[in-house]
């Protein structure tokens, strides 16, 4: 980390106290940041990442493939589907090619709400977005969709009677079965009006034994025991929605472009992605 918790706490006035951040336990947002080459992480996050990389050297590639897919998904949603409102749940720490940057490059009027339960995301997000009236960040938990959609900032920027998109980039895989991931997805889909979209990207077990090893490390690092769920199981997140072609596929097979050229890497089937549209 280049900034201390005290320094971060001084950047805004209404976020949760950053002095309370647990630096001893790996955090999903910080682990992802490390794998993307970011700088907002602690020793516990780096140790978890190193264990993953030791088991599967392509692990950073999976994180980059996730990020590249999210960019392509936003380009499709805004550029082709005409979506002007986006709720990014489990957004993580700011990185190059943020959702609002991609979306607003196409259409400056697009409104974006970032959602994450990690208070450090709120601190960095507020600083980054201080001069952007069409974008905000809130602290809320994926497991409580009602609290997300009833948040005042969501009401301020998102007209839920009009089509909007919800992005779930690499976050559903961290929910345990007892946390009802399929019920969570259903409650999110229920909030979408006709013409709304749900994007999902997550790790999967394509029959590669390395997926089981990575899943073990994720579990031991307190990031979830079902991070590499079967593809068929993850299709349930799109119940009631029409999958946009080419469907739920390896992330780099979803409308590929030169944004991520290493499409033949053998690790690619361990990350799947898709977008569903509400009829």
More confident residue, 236 or 128: 236
247 backbone φψ class: left, alpha, beta (φ>0; ψ -120 to 50): left
| Cα torsion 195, 95, 20, 177: sign | positive
pLDDT for 14: 41
Residue 5 predicted with pLDDT over 70: no
More confident residue, 61 or 119: 61
- Tokens of residue 44, six digits: 């516990």
Average pLDDT on 104-116 reads 96
pLDDT for 3: 35
Give tens-digit pLDDT for 144-179.
Answer: 999 999 999 999 999 999 999 999 999 999 999 999
pLDDT for 263: 64
Burial class (CB in 10 A: 0-12, 13-18, 19+), 232: exposed
**What's the CA gap between 149 and 18, in Å, rounded?**
25
Confidence of residue 20 (pLDDT cuts 50, 70, 90): low
| pTM of the predicted model as reported, rounded to 2 decimal places | 0.89
Give tens-digit pLDDT for 24-58.
Answer: 888 888 888 899 888 888 899 999 999 999 988 98
**What's the CA gap between 138 and 151, in Å, rounded?**
8
pLDDT for 261: 58
**What's the CA gap between 235 and 245, in Å, rounded?**
14
Residue 112 to residues 20, 73, 219, 251, 255, Cα–Cα distance (Å): 27, 14, 31, 23, 23
Average pLDDT on 209-238 reads 92
Mean per-residue pLDDT over the chain, rounded:
88
Give tens-digit pLDDT for 54-102.
Answer: 988 989 988 989 999 999 999 999 999 999 999 999 988 777 689 999 9
Give tens-digit pLDDT for 126-140.
Answer: 777 878 899 999 999
Q: What is the DSSP string of the chain?
A: --S-HHHHHTT-SSSPPGGG---SS--HHHHHHHHTT-S---HHHHHHHHHHHHH-TTHHHHHHHHHHHHHHHHIIIIIIS---EEEEET--S--SS-HHHHHHHH-TT-EEEEEES-HHHHHHHHHHTTT-TTEEEEE--TT-HHHHHTSHHHHHH--TTS--EEEEES-GGG--GGG-HHHHHHHHHHHPPTT-EEEEEEE--SS-HHHHHHHHHHHHTTS-S-TT--HHHHGGGGTTSEEPTT-SEEGGGSS--TTS--TT-TTGGGEEEEEEE--
Contact 100, 91 (CB under 8 A): no
Q: What is the DSSP string of 11-37?
A: T-SSSPPGGG---SS--HHHHHHHHTT
Confidence of residue 108 (pLDDT cuts 50, 70, 90): very high
pLDDT for 262: 67
Residue 18 predicted with pLDDT over 70: no
More confident residue, 21 or 11: 21
* CATH superfamily of this structure's domain 65-206+225-277: Vaccinia Virus protein VP39 (3.40.50.150)
pLDDT for 260: 64
């Amino acid at each position: 980390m280049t900034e201390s918790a005290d320094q971060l706490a001084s950047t805004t006035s209404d976020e949760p106290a950053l002095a309370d951040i647990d630096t001893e336990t790996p955090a999903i947002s910080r682990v992802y940041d490390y794998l993307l080459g970011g700088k907002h992480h602690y020793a516990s996050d780096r140790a978890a990442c190193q264990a993953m990389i030791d088991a599967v050297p392509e692990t950073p590639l999976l994180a980059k493939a996730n990020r590249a897919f999210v960019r392509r998904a936003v380009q499709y949603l805004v550029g082709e589907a005409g979506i002007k409102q986006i709720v990014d749940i489990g957004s993580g720490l700011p990185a190059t090619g943020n959702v609002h940057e991609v979306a607003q490059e196409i259409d400056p009027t697009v409104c974006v709400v970032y959602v994450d339960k990690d208070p450090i995301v709120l601190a960095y997000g507020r600083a980054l977005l201080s001069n952007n009236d069409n974008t905000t960040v809130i602290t809320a938990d994926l497991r409580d969709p009602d609290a997300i959609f009833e948040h005042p900032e969501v009401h301020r920027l998102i007209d839920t009677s009009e089509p909007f998109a919800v992005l779930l980039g690499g976050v559903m895989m961290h929910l345990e079965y007892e946390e009802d991931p399929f019920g969570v997805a259903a409650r999110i889909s229920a909030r979408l009006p006709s013409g709304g979209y749900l994007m999902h990207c997550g790790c999967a077990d394509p029959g590669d034994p390395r997926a089981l090893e990575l899943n073990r490390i994720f579990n031991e690092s307190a990031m979830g025991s079902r991070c590499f769920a079967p593809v068929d199981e993850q299709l349930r997140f799109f119940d009631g929605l029409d999958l946009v072609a080419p469907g739920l596929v390896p992330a780099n097979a979803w409308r590929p472009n030169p944004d991520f050229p290493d499409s033949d890497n053998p690790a690619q089937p361990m990350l799947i992605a898709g977008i569903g549209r509400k009829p």
